[in-house]
Amino acid sequence: MKTRHLGGSGLKISEIAYGNWLTHGSQVEEDAATACVRRALDEGITTFDTADAYANTAAETVLGEALKGERREGLEIFTKVYWPTGPGKHNDHGLSRKHIHESINGSLQRLQTDYVDLYQAHRYDHETPLEETMEAFADVVRQGKALYIGVSEWRAEEIRAAHALARELHIPLVSNQPQYSMLWRVIEAEVVPTSEELGIGQVVWSPIAQGVLTGKYLPGQAAPEGSRATDDKGGANMIKRWLQDDVLERVQQLKPIADEAGLTLAQLAVAWVLQNDNVSAAIIGASRPEQVSDNAKASGVVLEPATLTAIDDVVGPVVERDPAKTQSPSSRDF
């Protein structure tokens, strides 16, 4: 497993990270989730990403149990704050000072650790002054509860404003966590150039487009039983944007390209995002340990220029590139 620096910081993370968004505490039973975490560790993955809102805090609890007994110094644990947790009352979400401080304490307890390596703002909060949010994050860092600060799905101008405040407060804002894949490239026009300038790295989620880039969803056919597209706990809603025949047909056309590169389609997809120098890590998820092992083989793969061109020729017409697609809710009335 190769490592990369998290943005311009000195922190090294595994270039493939393990995330438990739609699996632990929700789609997958705890024993299976723990088996996936153990396999990730066996594959050399040291970076684990979660959030307080995943399965309404259950995902953090499952991850904390799965990592119990591991040498803490050998792990990089990331979590996030913003989306509703608990009963979802008026202060149970957002990026207010109150919610940030209560959330980090809850996350640390569930993760069974004294600190997280990276604490991330899960979305931009239009209802809280950015100064208040960044000052609260500064408190979290100075209290030793987080080593670095990041954001997720923030626009270029939001990242720039937060970075300026972080410099004033002397805290390390080092990362952004956006969706990024062969099919979803909205960060390339604005977010990536801004991040490169500021020393911010991307920790990207959904590199295989919720599983569509594995090739298991076929045009004109029902989704496989037990797949994410049949998950009524959130997975089906997230993947539906890709379940169009024109997209699925083009994914099937990627198969010869993957074969020629000696990769599975999933490995090709994960390797593709890692070709971007601004990407610090690609987050993978899994419901079975063998999926972790398959995706982990994308680490260190170098795709030839001709391969990258061939991929663009196939998926070009169905790629989403609009920078405006990166956006946060305008209010916290979820």
How confident is the model over 243-262, as a mean pLDDT?
96
Amino acid symbol at 184? W
Instruction: Name the catalytic one among 54, 119, 124, 148.
Output: 54
The whole-number pLDDT of residue 234 equals 53
The one-letter amino acid at 332: R
Q: Is 217 a catalytic site residue?
A: no
E-only strand ranges, the chain:
3-5, 12-14, 16-19, 47-49, 76-81, 116-121, 146-151, 173-176, 201-204, 279-284
Q: CATH assignment of 3-209+278-300, given 3.20.20.100, 1.10.287.130, 3.40.50.2300, 3.40.190.10?
A: 3.20.20.100
Q: What is the mean pLDDT of residues 257-278?
A: 98
- Residue range 73-96: mean pLDDT, rounded: 95
CA pair distance 286, 33, nearest whole angstrom: 8
- Domain borders along the chain are 3-209+278-300
Average pLDDT on 307-325 reads: 97
Is 54 within 8 Å of 21 (Cβ atoms)?
Answer: yes
pLDDT band with cut points at 50, 70 and 90 for residue 242: confident
DSSP assignment of 83-152, as one string? S--TT--TTSSSS-HHHHHHHHHHHHHHHT-S-EEEEEESS--TTS-HHHHHHHHHHHHHTTSEEEEEES
Return the minimum-mean-pLDDT range out of 62-66, 166-170, 228-232, 235-239: 228-232
Mean of the pLDDT values across residues 290-319?
A: 97
pLDDT band at residue 99, thresholds of 50, 70 and 90?
very high
